[in-house]
Structure 1
Amino acid sequence: MNATTAPAAPAVHQRAHERAADAEWTGARTDDAGRVVSGARERIDALDDRIIGLIQERMAVSAVIQEARIASGGRRVNLARETEVLAHYRDALGRRGTSLAMTMLEMCRGTV
């Protein structure tokens, strides 16, 4: 096949607004609802990217703290501080906030 007869390569990613009418992708039953879902998903994707970046930043800062604590003869983990963090998340987000904080703290403990 040459360039003029080869089938067009499928688009790897369609823009969300192009998929707005795709009920299977959005789960919406109307085009208007599909556009709302599509736009909201774009915003969620952007928020997720920011959250991931913040978690990565938190992990790096936590590693600095752990290294300093260990270098001074202390322990890698400060359970009193972790309890404060858990309470902060619980107070702000409810019971599920505690679960989120536990996961985040586990990720931030690292291997220092």
Structure 2
Amino acid sequence: MTTTHVTPAEVTGARTAEAADVITGARERIDALDDRIIGLIQERMAVSAVIQEARITSGGRRVNLSREMEILSHYSEALGKPGTALAMTLLELCRGRI
């Protein structure tokens, strides 16, 4: 059985070893950031569940549309059109489809 050695440059698509090192380090940082983002989203989902439960228990509706519009606006202002899509995804994760 032969083993083929794959160089870091081949894995990263870089043309030089130096660029491969930069890309590898940056990818590690992105992976760590993604793990933190996922954790924050999970925390946001838990907080949202508390809010929804309190609202429903008090006789209110599960979703507050004016608050959701504030969130959409906030993300849109900060990140442009993709921010709106991101906010919609977060809202769906945190409250489900309405």
Aligned counterpart for 1:83 among listed residues 55, 69, 75 = 69
Q: Residue type of the partner of 1:98?
A: T
Q: Residue type of the partner of 2:75?
A: Y
What SS does the aligned partner of 1:46 have? helix
What does residue 3 of structure 1 align with? none
**TM-score, reference length from structure 1:** 0.78
CA distance in 2, matches of 1:95, 1:110: 21
Matched, 1:66 2:30: no
Greater Cα radius of gyration, structure 1 or 2: 1
| CA positional deviation for 1:29 | 1.0
Q: In the TM superposition, what are the counterparts of 1:34-49 in structure 2 within 5 Å? A: 34-49=20-35
What does residue 13 of structure 1 align with? none
CA distance in 1, matches of 2:54, 2:10: 51
Alpha-carbon RMSD across the aligned residues, in angstroms, is 1.5
What does residue 11 of structure 1 align with? none
What does residue 53 of structure 1 align with? 39
Residues 16-52 of structure 1: CA deviation (Å, up to 9, x unaligned): xxx8x42331111110000000000000000001000
> Any runs of at least 4 consecutive aligned residues in structure 1 with deviations exceeding 4 A, and if so which?
none
Aligned residues: 92
Structure 1 unpaired stretches of 5+ = 1-18
Identity between Structure 1 and Structure 2 (%): 75
Contact preservation (8 Å) 1:89, 1:98: yes
Structure 2 unpaired stretches of 5+ = 1-5
**TM-score, reference length from structure 2:** 0.89
